[in-house]
A and B are shown apart, each in its own frame.
Chain A
Amino acid sequence: MPMARAVSQTGEAPDDAKLVAASLDDPEAFGELFRRHAPRLHAYIKRRLGLPLADDLVSEAFAIAFRRRARYDGRAEFGAWLWGIAGTLIARHHRQESRMYRAYARTGVDPAEEGLAEAAGDRLAAAALGPALARALASLNAKDRDAVLLLAWGELSYAEIAAVLDLPLGTVKAKIHRARAKLRKALPEENDDA
């Protein structure tokens, strides 16, 4: 098939740390890091803050990462370092994010999905639980929310979340545990096999 596809990053592809190092002499090498990391980071921010802010924050996060690239020491994964930078930017919009959750909980229409031509069906599918979950998300403190959404929407592992948030693993687990308890209360009782 002619379509470009995701392939595993093994073999000849230089790893992220090498690309960062190469970008010190050749700034264009940083472009490959954008290709590798921007889509996933963008999707995550988009889900938390909506499309317009996601566009801004992704380019800002990469701008900051590019400026600081000389200070990247390769001890943490580049991805965790980048997501950490993005996390700080997301935190600046904490109140805006909460406002959107509350508006969704109140009206049943998710402002984050506004202007999305194709959202109607997903809205329908999520209609049952979305508002209740949004209300619970609005009630979480900033760090708990970060942790649980990095897990659910960022699809990161606990260890990756700990690296992104720069917290001990145990603390991350406690935060997610606490967030999940609050979210669980928002859900209707249900038998669950899976």
Chain B
Amino acid sequence: MREIEALRQMRTALAEQEHPDRLAMRAGWRPGGPAPRARRGWRLPVAGLLATATVAAGSAAVLSLTPDEDAGTGAPQPGDVLLVAATNALKARTGKYWHTRRIDGTIYAVGRTAADHYKIEARQGYETWVDPAGRGYPSSDDLPARPWTPEDMRKWRKAGAPSQVQIPSGDGSAPITLFMKPSPAQGRKFSKGWHSGSRFYNLPIARLAQLPTEPKALENALLDLRGDWHAYSKQATEEPLRALRGPERVRALSDVLGDLLARQPAPARVRAAAFRLLAGLPGVRAEGRAADPLGRTGTVVSLPLETTIPLGVFSAPKQLGTYRRQWIIDPGTGTLLAIRDLVARPPHGSRALPPGDDGRPRRLTVATQPDRFHKPGEVAAYEVFEAAGWTDTAPN
């Protein structure tokens, strides 16, 4: 099916589905459109579409596959959005610590069939303080999993509101149990306290202050960062980012920039340059506005990804779908609100994996994927920053 896969990589920008309301509106008033007779025949239902939608909202399925409701054909360039963010990042007040409170979520399907399943979000909380000298105070917080949408909540309750659910492990090994209620260990933040010598990849944190403040020069500096930049490789390879080419380099750079913007105590001018650099990465595009998992609205830029699995961790490919990563940004404050991954093409096919720890052969199949019942445009995972900014308040 290689030629079908190749076709699917073609004209992907045109493959995006638009919101039906927007389509209906364009079909309704677009001048020079279809034959007047056809137009007349259609006018009646179009006029009633919004009313129908309102009535249908309670009972019928509402289809929305693109998160942005505003981006028309004259969508802004990512540069426009991020330029504003960059400018406003310069105005942010500074403080003793860069403080982040974030939740990482992964959306898992519970159930056997597309028709009969519900989705839950597995969540992990993190709170971190780090100062420009590289002293850091990380803490983590096990959060209970919970149904993802009100509809999923309804189905979970209908299933008897189980306090723990089993989900496939992703690679065919034993299923994983997720707890839907706080366990005794949960709700208590875990931390080992302060430590020094934090690093940003191989770069000591203190060196962040010396990073270039012009996008091209910043890119050049980041290309010197060393790490394992592969989504999977048989052996751990450490190399400069510069050694990568094409989409692999873009993916790695976007990871680095997301990390720099969200989590690192970088000076305002470096952050501003990072926004501009992100805007200029090949494939990054503006997508209008969307709400993050905490309901805060921001401006979206996105990048298509072959895989979203963290770089440098796995020895074999662990996903069967393709994805689109979105950065949701508050341009007004120049802060990153969230990073999330949408399913572009749901998992399909299967793939042989190298033997696992027990030496038995493994195979990656759709049935084991957390996003096996996702539709294009649905959220597979997110990282939402409840707080990401300077503070003078130390952890207590």
**A interface residues (Cβ-Cβ under 8 A, vs B):** 1-10, 12-14, 23, 27-32, 34-36, 38-40, 42-43, 46-47, 50-51, 55-60, 62-64, 66-67, 110, 112-113, 115-126, 129-130, 133-134, 148-149, 151-153, 180, 183-184, 186-187, 190, 192-194
Q: Is the CB of A7 within 8 A of B13?
A: no
Query: Min CB distance, A132 to chain B, in Å?
Result: 9
23 of the cross-chain contacts (CB-CB < 8 Å) are A1-B291, A3-B291, A7-B151, A8-B115, A28-B49, A28-B52, A34-B20, A35-B62, A39-B63, A39-B65, A42-B18, A43-B14, A56-B34, A59-B27, A62-B27, A62-B45, A63-B37, A66-B41, A120-B282, A126-B10, A129-B10, A130-B10, A133-B6
Known contacts A38-B24, A47-B11, A118-B286; A3 and B67 CB within 8 A of each other: yes
- Residues of chain A within 8 A (CB-CB) of B5 are 194
Q: Given that A7-B61, A63-B38, A187-B3 are contacting pairs, would A122 and B45 also be in contact in the complex, using a CB cutoff of 8 Å?
A: no
Task: Give Cα A35–Cα B52 distance, bound, in whole angstroms.
Answer: 10
A44 nearest CB neighbor, chain B only: B15
Of A152, A180, A184, the most chain B CB neighbours within 10 A belong to A152
Q: How far is the CA of A38 from the CA of B22 in the complex (A)?
A: 10
- Name the A residues within 8 Å of B249 (CB-CB): none
Among A13, A39, A55, A119: residue with most chain B CB under 10 A: A39
B164 at the interface (CB under 8 A from A): no
A193–B3 touching, CB < 8 Å:
no
* Nearest CB on B from A48, distance (A): 9
* Given the contacts A3-B291, A59-B34, A129-B10, A28 and B15 also touching, CB distance less than 8 Å: no
Complex contacts, A113 vs chain B, CB 8 Å:
11, 13-14
Q: How far is the CB of B361 from chain A (nearest CB, A)?
A: 14
Partner of B378, one of A6, A13, A180: A6
| Assembled-state Cα–Cα distance A63/B13 (Å) | 27
B34 nearest CB neighbor, chain A only? A60
* Complex A-B, nearest 7 residue pairs according to Cβ-Cβ distance, in ascending order: A121-B283, A28-B48, A59-B27, A118-B285, A63-B38, A183-B3, A31-B52
Q: Which among A23, A43, A110 is the interface contact of B18 at CB below 8 angstroms?
A: A43
Is B149 part of the binding interface, using a Cβ–Cβ cutoff of 8 Å?
A: yes
Q: Which chain B positions have C-beta within 8 A of A27? A: 44-45, 48
B216 within 8 A of A: no
Residues of B within 8 A of A149 (CB): 7
Interface centre among A31, A38, A57 (most CB of B within 10 A): A31
Contact B56 A66 (CB under 8 A): no
Q: In whole angstroms, what is the CA distance A120 to B303 when docked?
A: 12
B53 to A62, Cβ gap below 8 A? no
Given contacts A1-B149, A29-B52, A117-B76, contact A122 B13 (CB under 8 A): yes
Question: How big is chain B's contact interface, by range?
Answer: 35 or more
CA A180 – CA B59 in complex, angstroms?
42
Smallest CB separation, B159 vs chain A (Å): 14
Give the chain A neighbours of B157 by CB distance below 8 A. none
Which chain B positions have C-beta within 8 A of A148?
A: 4, 7
CB pair A55–B26 under 8 Å, yes or no, is yes
Q: Which of B49-93 contact A (CB under 8 A)?
A: 49, 51-53, 56, 59-65, 67, 73-78
Binding site for A on B (CB under 8 A): 2-21, 23-24, 26-28, 30, 33-35, 37-39, 41-42, 44-46, 48-49, 51-53, 56, 59-65, 67, 73-78, 114-115, 149, 151, 247, 281-287, 290-291, 293, 295, 303-304, 349, 351-352, 375, 377-379
Q: A19 CA to B56 CA in the complex, in Å?
A: 12
Distance in Å from the Cβ of A111 to the closest Cβ of chain B?
11
Residues of A near B74 (CB, < 8 A) are 117
Also in contact, A63 and B34, with CB within 8 A (given A6-B378, A7-B149, A112-B14): yes
The answer to whether A39 and B17 touch across the interface, beta carbons within 8 angstroms, is: yes
CB pair B63–A36 under 8 Å, yes or no, is yes
Contact of A35 with B9 at beta-carbon distance under 8 Å, contacts A6-B378, A190-B2, A193-B351 already known? no
Residues of A within 8 A of B30 (CB): 55-56, 59
Q: Complex formed: what's the CA distance from A43 to B376 in Å? A: 12
The complex places the Cα of A187 from the Cα of B290 at a distance, in Å, of 38
Q: Would you give the shortest CB distance from A150 to chain B, in whole angstroms?
A: 11
Residues of B within 8 A of A8 (CB): 61, 114-115
Are A35 and B6 within 8 A (Cβ)?
no
Do B41 and A51 have beta carbons less than 8 Å apart?
no
Whether the pair A133, B18 counts as a contact (CB closer than 8 A) is no
A122 and B38 contacting across the interface, CB-CB below 8 Å: no
Which residues of A lie under 8 Å from residue B290 when comparing CB positions? Answer: 3
B residues near A66, Cβ cutoff 8 Å = 41-42, 45
For the complex formed, measure the closest distance between the CB of B198 and the CB atoms of chain A, giving whole angstroms.
32
Find chain B residues with CB under 8 A from A124 CB: 282-283
Bound Cα distance from A55 to B39, whole angstroms = 12
- A6, A13, A58: which contacts B375 (Cβ < 8 A)? A6
